C-alpha cells in the first residue's frame, strides 16, 4: 500500500522556506503519491532513460523520477525554487541537473545534445495551463529528439489533444498533436490532488512521438496555415475561412474544387476534416 505523505511534506517545505505558490508561474503543487506513480508509469521511465522535467516545483515528482531514471534534467523558471532544490531539497540526487530558466527560452535541442549525447529523451511535466500549447508545440516544431511527452494538463486541453474529427473538442491543437504523435489519455486527476487546488480538473496525457509522419504533405507549413485558418473562426465554412487567410493565397473556386475532389460538401467546415484530408487539401491548393 502506498502511503501518501506528500500533503504534509509540501506544507512543511512551504513553511520552512516561507514560500507561497506564485500565480504568475501557474504553480499548483502535486500532492498525491498515487498520481505521481501513475505519471511515471505512463511515461514508462526505466533505468536507461534521460528525462526532461519541466517545472519541478518543490521536487515532489523529481525525487521519484531520479529513483527510476538514469538522468533527470529539471528546468524550473522560479529562481527561489531552483535554488532551494539545488541547495537543500534534492542536493543528494547525483543524477539530477537543475536549470533555472524559462523552458520557452531554452534551446532544448542543444541541451539534449549536451546532457544525453543527442539521444531521444522522455519529457515529463506538470504544465502551467496558460502555456501548455506553446511548450508542446515548441518541442515538436523544433524537432527535439524525444520518445514521448507525459504531461499533466488541464482536462479540457487533454480532451482537445485526443479528440476525433467532428467532435466539439477537435481543433488545430488536435491536428498538430496527431501530426507529431499518438495521443493517450492516461488518467483524470481531481482538483484535490494539488496545493493550492486549481479551479479546473486535470488529466495525464501521454504523447508517443512518431518516428515517421502519418501523412505525406508537400508543404507542412502551408498545411498548418490552412489548419489555423480553418479553426480560427469555427463557424465559417472552409471556403470563407481560407480565402483571406495569410500564407494560403487561394480563391473560393479553388477551395470548392478541392472539396469536390475530396468528396466533401461545399459548405464543409474545418472540424470535419481529418489530418489526412488537411494534407490532401494543402497539396491540392499547392
Residues 91 and 181 in one domain: yes
- Nearest Cα residue to 57 out of 37, 34, 31: 31
User: Where among 167, 183, 209 does a domain terminate?
Assistant: 209
**Do 246 and 178 fall within a single domain?**
no
| Domain CATH number, residue 248 | 1.10.8.100
256, 127: one domain: no
User: Looking at residue 1, what is its pLDDT?
Assistant: 42
Q: Which pairing describes strands 71-76 and 96-100: parallel, antiparallel, or unpaired? A: parallel
Is residue 68 scored above 90 in pLDDT? Answer: yes
Instruction: Note whether 259 and 150 are same-domain residues.
Output: no
At 21, the pLDDT band (50, 70, 90 cuts) reads low
Q: How many domains does the chain have?
A: 2
pLDDT at 24: 65
C-alpha cell at 131: 502555456
Strands 202-209, 146-154: pairing is antiparallel
276: in domain: yes
Q: Are 153 and 34 in the same domain? A: yes
Statement to judge: residues 170 and 197 lie in one domain? yes
Claim to verify: residue 35 and residue 87 sit in the same structural domain:
yes
Which residue, of 209, 240, 260, is where some domain finishes? 209
Tell which of 189, 209, 229 closes a domain.
209
Question: Is residue 1 included in any domain, yes or no?
Answer: no
In this predicted structure, the answer to whether residue 93 has a pLDDT above a threshold of 60 is yes
Of 3-17, 212-226, 268-282, minimum mean pLDDT range: 3-17
What is the model's pLDDT at position 275? 98
CATH code, 139: 3.40.50.150
Task: Check whether 217 has a pLDDT greater than 60.
Answer: yes
Q: Check whether residue 265 and residue 224 sit in a common domain.
A: yes
pLDDT at residue 102 above 50? yes
Question: Across residues 148-159, what is the average pLDDT?
Answer: 95
Average pLDDT over residues 210-220: 95
With pLDDT > 90 as the criterion, what percentage of the chain qualifies? 74
144 and 80 belong to one structural domain: yes
Ramachandran bin of 213, using left for φ above 0, alpha for ψ from -120 to 50, beta for the remaining angles:
beta
User: Is 275 part of any domain?
Assistant: yes
Of 106-110, 126-130, 220-224, 267-271, minimum mean pLDDT range = 126-130
pLDDT of residue 4: 62
Task: Give the pLDDT score at 195.
Answer: 81
pTM tops 0.85, yes or no? yes
Contacts of 238 (CB under 8 A, 6+ apart): 230, 255, 259, 268, 269, 270, 273, 281
CA distance 159 to 243: 30
Residue 126 has pLDDT above 60, yes or no: yes
> Kindly report the CA angle at 179 between 175 and 183, in degrees rounded to 5?
80
Q: Which domain holds residue 109?
A: 6-209
Amino acid at each position: 500500500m502506498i502511503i501518501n505523505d506528500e500533503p504534509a511534506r509540501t506544507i512543511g517545505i512551504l513553511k520552512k522556506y516561507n514560500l507561497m505558490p506564485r500565480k504568475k508561474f501557474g504553480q499548483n503543487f502535486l500532492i498525491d503519491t498515487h498520481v505521481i506513480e501513475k505519471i511515471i508509469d505512463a511515461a514508462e521511465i526505466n533505468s536507461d532513460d534521460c528525462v526532461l522535467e519541466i517545472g519541478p516545483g518543490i521536487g515532489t515528482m523529481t525525487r521519484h523520477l531520479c529513483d527510476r531514471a538514469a538522468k533527470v534534467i529539471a528546468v524550473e523558471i522560479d529562481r527561489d525554487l531552483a535554488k532551494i532544490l539545488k541547495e537543500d531539497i534534492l542536493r543528494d540526487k547525483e543524477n539530477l541537473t537543475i536549470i533555472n530558466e524559462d523552458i520557452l527560452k531554452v534551446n532544448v535541442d542543444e541541451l539534449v545534445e549536451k546532457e544525453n549525447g543527442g539521444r531521444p529523451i522522455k519529457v515529463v511535466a506538470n504544465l502551467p495551463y496558460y502555456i501548455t500549447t506553446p511548450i508542446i508545440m515548441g518541442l515538436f516544431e523544433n524537432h527535439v529528439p524525444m520518445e514521448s511527452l507525459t504531461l499533466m494538463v488541464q482536462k479540457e486541453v487533454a480532451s482537445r489533444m485526443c479528440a476525433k474529427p467532428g467532435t466539439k473538442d477537435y481543433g488545430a491543437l488536435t491536428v498538430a498533436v496527431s501530426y507529431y504523435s499518438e495521443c493517450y489519455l492516461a488518467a483524470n486527476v481531481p482538483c484535490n490532488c494539488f496545493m493550492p487546488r486549481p479551479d479546473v480538473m486535470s488529466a495525464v496525457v501521454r504523447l508517443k512521438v512518431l518516428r515517421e509522419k502519418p501523412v505525406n504533405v508537400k508543404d507542412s507549413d502551408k498545411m498548418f496555415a490552412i489548419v489555423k485558418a480553418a479553426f480560427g473562426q469555427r463557424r465559417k465554412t472552409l471556403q470563407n475561412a481560407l480565402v483571406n487567410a495569410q500564407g494560403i493565397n487561394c480563391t473560393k473556386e479553388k477551395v470548392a474544387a478541392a472539396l469536390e475532389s475530396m468528396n466533401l460538401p461545399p459548405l464543409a467546415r474545418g472540424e470535419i476534416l481529418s489530418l489526412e484530408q488537411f494534407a490532401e487539401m494543402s497539396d491540392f491548393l499547392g
